[in-house]
Amino acid sequence: MKIVVIAIDGPAGAGKGTLARRLAEHFGYAHLDTGSLYRAVALRVLRDGADPTHEATAAHEATRLTEDDLRDPALRHEATGLAASKVSAIPAVRQALLEFQRNFARRPPRDAMGAVIEGRDIGTVVWPQADHKIFLDAAVEVRAKRRVAELRTMLKEIDEAAVLRDLIQRDRQDRERSTAPLKPAADAFLLDTSNLDIEGAFAVAKAHILGRSGPAA
Ligand code: DC
């Protein structure tokens, strides 16, 4: 049987994680958050006391990831996200993580018949032959608001201006890097969630996958 691959790409805070998990659950597919791979490399580099732009350290750490690294709660910290954006611009880091991602698409775990893989370059570089490609986006102010709401559940004091500033910086780093920059694949379905909640985004994405939707929303 053919494995179905759904690629979900887009900038930080667009809602890729929530949508990818919902779709994976709905279709019974495996889910891979590729951002956590880059975050795990970044965390290792930071714990080495090195700068995330240090190529040799980051490339070395990218070959040493373990399952435990991917469960570390510090992966979700803002500082880890910013550092991940930096290590992800290093070609040797991307190369080291490529095979793991492709193997997930070829043979999803637990004999699942499909995989939902989210990131920045899944539809363009990791798995251009994906059966469905969704590029999820939203206005940066909307993404910042969602991130602030998420942080409020964990922290008391949040610097909202800093959240917006970090997102703008991360967008720039991810879009402007020369290796595998963030951009929609030519054949991606563009889904702007600025005016959609989780249920709305899920409904549009599901309809698109089932071949019932019209042109890009
Ligand atoms: O999706 P995220 O915020 O967890 O990703 C963290 C960083 O990792 C992001 O700023 C860019 C990088 N990344 C990437 O370059 N390619 C991917 N496929 C996934 C993430």
Residue 4 pLDDT greater than 60, yes or no: yes
Cβ(136)–Cβ(191) under 8 Å? yes
* DSSP letter assigned to residue 129: T
Asked whether residue 215 is domain-assigned, the answer is no
User: Distance of CA 196 to CAs 90, 153, 154, Å?
Assistant: 34, 21, 24
Residue nearest to atom 2 of ligand 1 (CA): 35
Ligand 1 centroid distance, CA of 4 (Å): 23
Ligand 1 centroid distance, CA of 1 (Å): 31
Q: What per-residue confidence (pLDDT) applies to 215?
A: 41
Atom of ligand 1 lying closest to residue 36 CA: 4
Asked whether residue 23 is domain-assigned, the answer is yes
Write out the residue range of the structural domain in which residue 62 sits: 4-210
Amino acid in position 33: D
The counts of H helices and E strands in the chain are: 8, 5
Residue 213 pLDDT greater than 80, yes or no: no
Q: How many domains does the chain have?
A: 1
Asked whether residue 123 is domain-assigned, the answer is yes
Residue nearest to atom 13 of ligand 1 (CA): 35
- Where residue 142 falls among pLDDT bands split at 50, 70, 90? very high
- Ligand 1 site, CB within 6 A: 12, 34-35, 38-39, 81, 84-85, 88, 119-121, 170, 174
Tens of pLDDT along 148-157?
Answer: 998 888 888 8
Asked whether residue 216 is domain-assigned, the answer is no
CA dihedral over 112, 114, 120, 125, signed as positive or negative? positive
Determine phi and psi for 116, rounding to 5 degrees.
-110, 115
pTM of the full structure: 0.93
Atom of ligand 1 lying closest to residue 81 CA: 6
| Look-up of token digits 């929530």 | 18
Atom of ligand 1 lying closest to residue 9 CA: 18
Angle ∠(62,68,71) on CA atoms, nearest 5: 100
Q: Among 44, 49, 51, which residue's Cα sits nearest to residue 75?
A: 44
Ligand 1 centroid distance, CA of 84 (Å): 7
Question: Regarding beta strands 4-9 and 132-137, do their DSSP bridges make them parallel or antiparallel, or are they unpaired?
Answer: parallel
Strand ranges in the chain using DSSP code E only, listed in sequence order:
4-9, 30-33, 114-119, 132-137, 189-192
Ligand 1 centroid distance, CA of 85 (Å): 6
Tens of pLDDT along 58-95?
Answer: 999 999 999 999 999 999 888 999 999 999 999 999 99
Domain CATH code at residue 125: 3.40.50.300
